[in-house]
């Protein structure tokens, strides 16, 4: 399956629904979607990853770079992925200890809720 990214604007957030496999062949496309959203002035971005079937190290690097980009612009990045261990991305994040670096939510409704902590809130607390 190839990568597909669908952009939505919901409740003041730019949501990028990522579907398929995120590997070295498609990370430039994902990186460009994030870069374009930020260049367009979108500084509250949710990457919805529930339909990602595979994520390799280059995909992880792209997510870390997206986090860095949003933080450098004073923006916020939130990730959506199921918390169950059957989800590939969740298993990778758990195994590598990446969940603590990101603002991760189990569903889109929670990620869009304004009273959940932002990246800035998490940084100030830690």
Cβ neighbours for 109, distance < 8 A, ≥ 6 positions apart: none
For residue range 10-31, list pLDDT tens digits in order.
999 999 999 999 999 999 999 9
For residue range 30-70, list pLDDT tens digits in order.
999 999 999 999 999 999 999 999 999 999 999 999 999 99
Task: Work out the burial of residue 55: count CB atoms within 10 Å of its CB; fewer than 13 is exposed, 13-18 middle, 19 or more buried.
Answer: buried
Higher per-residue pLDDT: 7 or 91:
7
Q: What does the block give as tokens for 8?
A: 């939505």
3-state SS class at 10:
strand
* pLDDT of 115 above 90: no
How big, in percent rounded to 5, are the helix, strand and coil portions of the chain? 40, 30, 30
């Amino acid at each position: 399956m190839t990568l597909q990214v669908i952009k939505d604007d919901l409740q003041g957030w730019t949501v990028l629904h990522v579907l398929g496999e995120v590997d070295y062949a498609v990370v430039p496309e994902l990186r460009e979607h994030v870069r374009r959203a930020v260049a367009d002035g979108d500084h509250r971005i949710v990457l919805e990853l529930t339909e990602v079937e595979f994520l390799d190290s280059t995909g992880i690097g792209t997510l870390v770079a997206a986090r860095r980009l949003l933080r450098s612009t004073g923006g916020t990045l939130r990730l959506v992925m199921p918390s169950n261990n059957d989800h590939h991305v969740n298993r990778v994040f758990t195994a590598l200890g990446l969940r603590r670096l990101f603002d991760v939510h189990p569903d889109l409704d929670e990620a869009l809720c304004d009273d959940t902590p932002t990246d800035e809130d998490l940084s100030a607390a830690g």
